[in-house]
């Protein structure tokens, strides 16, 4: 029963990793952009939620009503005003620009909030759990996080394949020049894709801030977890991203059960093994 509990908890933490990864997978699928500042935006969303709580005194989950649209607007403006200028056949300029954004964000957060770690208090939501089996308890917060990941990925999947915006995303991704000839403005399509990505980032940031302490410099480690989940699942495959997050979470749980010092190592080893066997991930998107 102990190992069953380890696997269940690993699956649930995989939902948080899937939230980290979904935004990355989305923008890569649309514009082939790897955003190095993605993890720092997650932390930035956590600090934005902290500001909202300090100002309005509301529950952390209620901050999503403000944090999500603000982060989406930031994503739209950043893509339209900055990243669109460096997108092209060469992948290096976007990487350099987003790396610079990462450094700026970290130092801006350090300046305004100091290096002290913070955490959002969600009350009983953090401590209450549901007994599924003897010795297997499922916390309400991890369960809610996993449900949010599934719901967001299902919503993005629906948007991609059942809406006009999704058709614009897919057309621009498949052949940007033809899409422009057909009347699409690629710059605005990319901006809307980044806005959606940042909306997911906002959700990930709030759940992260409720679950664990955060500080201005933890963004790169969140980026690594998200990137590994994307690679494991397959670049551009949203449901694959969820599977990748689950595999990463379970691997970390098994590693921690064997030896607490092996938790992070086990996840990285699982990533490398899958990458060696399936270089394009388990469920790569078929172009």
| Element holding 133 (H helix, E strand) | strand 129-133
pLDDT at position 65, please? 96
pLDDT at position 133, please? 74
The tens digit of pLDDT for each residue in 57-74 reads 999 999 999 999 999 999
Res 125 pLDDT > 90: no
pTM of the model: 0.93
pLDDT at position 3, please? 80
Cα–Cα distance, 80 to 141 (Å, whole number): 35
CATH T-level topology, domain 2-115+132-277:
ABC transporter involved in vitamin B12 uptake, BtuC (1.10.3470)
105-129 mean pLDDT: 90
Q: Is residue 137 helix, strand or coil?
A: strand
Q: Which of 200, 147, 184, 178 is nearest to 15 (CA)?
A: 147
Distance (Å) of CA 99 to CA 94, 108, 218 = 8, 14, 15
Cα–Cα distance, 25 to 197 (Å, whole number): 9
Q: Which of 259, 7, 245 is nearest to 133 (CA)?
A: 7
Place of tokens 């990748």: 244
pLDDT at position 29, please? 80
Res 105 pLDDT > 90: yes
Question: Tokens at residue 206, please?
Answer: 């709030």
The tens digit of pLDDT for each residue in 14-29 reads 999 999 999 888 888 8
HSE at residue 55, side-chain half, CA atoms within 13 A, is 10
Q: How many CB atoms lie within 10 A of CB 286?
A: 7
189-208 mean pLDDT: 94
- Provide the mean pLDDT of the chain: 90
The tens digit of pLDDT for each residue in 130-175 reads 877 777 888 899 999 999 999 999 999 999 888 988 888 888 887 7
pLDDT at position 63, please? 95
């Amino acid at each position: 029963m102990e190992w069953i509990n380890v696997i269940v908890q690993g699956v649930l933490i995989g939902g948080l990793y899937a939230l980290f990864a979904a935004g990355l997978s989305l923008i890569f699928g649309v514009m082939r952009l790897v955003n190095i500042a993605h993890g720092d935006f997650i932390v930035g969303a956590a600090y934005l939620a902290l500001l909202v709580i300090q100002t309005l005194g509301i529950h952390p989950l209620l901050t999503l009503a403000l944090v999500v649209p603000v982060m989406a607007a930031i994503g739209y403006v950043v893509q339209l005003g900055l990243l669109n200028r460096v997108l092209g056949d060469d992948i290096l300029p976007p990487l350099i620009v987003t790396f610079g954004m990462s450094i700026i964000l970290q130092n801006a957060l350090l300046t305004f909030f100091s290096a002290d770690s913070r955490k959002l208090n969600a009350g009983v939501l953090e401590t209450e759990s549901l007994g599924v089996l003897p010795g297997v308890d499922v916390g309400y917060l991890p369960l809610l996080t996993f449900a949010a990941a599934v719901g967001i990925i299902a919503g993005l999947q629906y948007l991609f394949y059942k809406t006009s915006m999704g058709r614009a995303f897919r057309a621009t991704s498949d052949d940007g020049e033809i899409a422009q000839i057909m009347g699409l403005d690629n710059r605005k399509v990319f901006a809307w894709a980044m806005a959606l990505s940042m909306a997911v980032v906002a959700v990930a940031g709030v759940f992260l801030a409720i679950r664990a302490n955060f500080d201005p410099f933890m963004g790169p480690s969140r980026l690594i977890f998200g990137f590994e989940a994307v690679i494991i699942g397959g670049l551009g495959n949203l449901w694959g991203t969820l599977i990748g997050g689950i595999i990463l979470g379970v691997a970390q749980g098994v590693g921690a059960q064997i030896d607490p010092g092996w938790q992070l190592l086990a996840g990285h080893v699982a990533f490398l093994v899958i990458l060696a066997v399936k270089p394009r991930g388990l469920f790569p998107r078929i172009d």
